[in-house]
Amino acid sequence: MTEALNMAQLAVNRRNDEEMSAFLGLIYPGINDNQKGTLFDDIEKIATLTPAGLGESPNIIIYCDDDSRWRHATAEEIPGQEGRTDAQKAWIDPENDIVFDQRVDPRSLTNLDRQIPGCREVGTATRAQTYTNLRTPTPDHDRGSIVTITLCSRALTGPKIKYLTIGEIAAENLASRKASNLFKLPNIDTFKLLSATVVHELSHQILTSAIRYDDVRGANSYRWPNISNMDLLSGLENADSLAYTCIAAMLMEMGYSVDKDGDIKKKKT
């Protein structure tokens, strides 16, 4: 969490810097000053989030319960449920009174199955999911008043998870000889760690932006090969593009630059 807010702040600090401008050109081709202004204003809303104090009710709650708080809604909670099969039933988070009722395929007339809360779904790579208590979307992009984010345990532990934050890599590897190995092979995607996932999820909930940050191309919305090949208007609404802007800011701060292939190079001094 700390690193998520920190990398957002580092991005905000670089809103007028040339190096950041060059980076933005890679994932937001042709971005203008207005669009840049909105982007960094929105990143600042993430950077300036504060923990709820004692006695205050938080409007963003982060769970690590693998979505176990969700259950199928009853017919009383969601009228119409009684005629649905289990697979077609809406889900409810009774702790926060949030309903999750999204069709797997909204365009299909025959498949009425509902999506399962992300961490509960078997066989997907979903690392986190964001929910809001708004039941009907409004034209002014109201997001409701409560947002919950679940960080799935598959994003926290597992054979392939070595680091959760960029800071850990820095401590263990950056100053050692391993650093050269680390940077020769991989690209910026190596740094899409839990902290960047948190930035991504928080971008979904920015309550006061004109933009609704989404995963604009479904499964093809994530990571460098996708975000670096997106047209400007899609990129500006894509959550992962915003998250990568924050990753890049952190890498710049650590003395690295990002090229068009998403490769990381040590800056010449």
By CB under 5 A, name the binding residues for Zn ion. 215, 239
- In the complex with Zn ion, the residue whose CB is nearer, 73 or 129, is 129
Q: Is 148 helix (H, G, I), strand (E, B) or coil?
A: strand
- In the complex with Zn ion, the residue whose CB is nearer, 66 or 214, is 214
- In the complex with Zn ion, the residue whose CB is nearer, 9 or 221, is 221
- In the complex with Zn ion, the residue whose CB is nearer, 197 or 228, is 197
Q: What distances in angstroms separate CA 202 from CA 8, 72, 146, 176, 213, one per listed residue?
A: 11, 26, 12, 33, 9
Q: Smallest distance from the beta carbon of 21 to Zn ion, in angstroms? A: 26
Q: Smallest distance from the beta carbon of 213 to Zn ion, in angstroms? A: 8
- In the complex with Zn ion, the residue whose CB is nearer, 19 or 215, is 215
CA distance 73 to 114: 12
Q: Smallest distance from the beta carbon of 118 to Zn ion, in angstroms? A: 9
Q: Smallest distance from the beta carbon of 203 to Zn ion, in angstroms? A: 8
Q: Where are the alpha helices (DSSP H) in 71-205?
A: 153-156, 166-169, 178-184, 194-204
CA distance 61 to 98: 12
Q: Smallest distance from the beta carbon of 220 to Zn ion, in angstroms? A: 12
Q: Which residues contact 132 (CB under 8 A, 6 or more apart)?
A: 98, 143, 144, 146, 147, 148, 205
CA distance 179 to 185: 11
CA distance 32 to 42: 16
Q: Smallest distance from the beta carbon of 204 to Zn ion, in angstroms? A: 6
CA distance 213 to 241: 9
- In the complex with Zn ion, the residue whose CB is nearer, 152 or 239, is 239
Q: Which residues contact 213 (CB under 8 A, 6 or more apart)?
A: 42, 203, 204, 206, 237, 238, 239, 242
Query: Cβ-closest residue to Zn ion?
Result: 215
- In the complex with Zn ion, the residue whose CB is nearer, 41 or 215, is 215
Q: Smallest distance from the beta carbon of 145 to Zn ion, in angstroms? A: 20
CA distance 194 to 192: 7
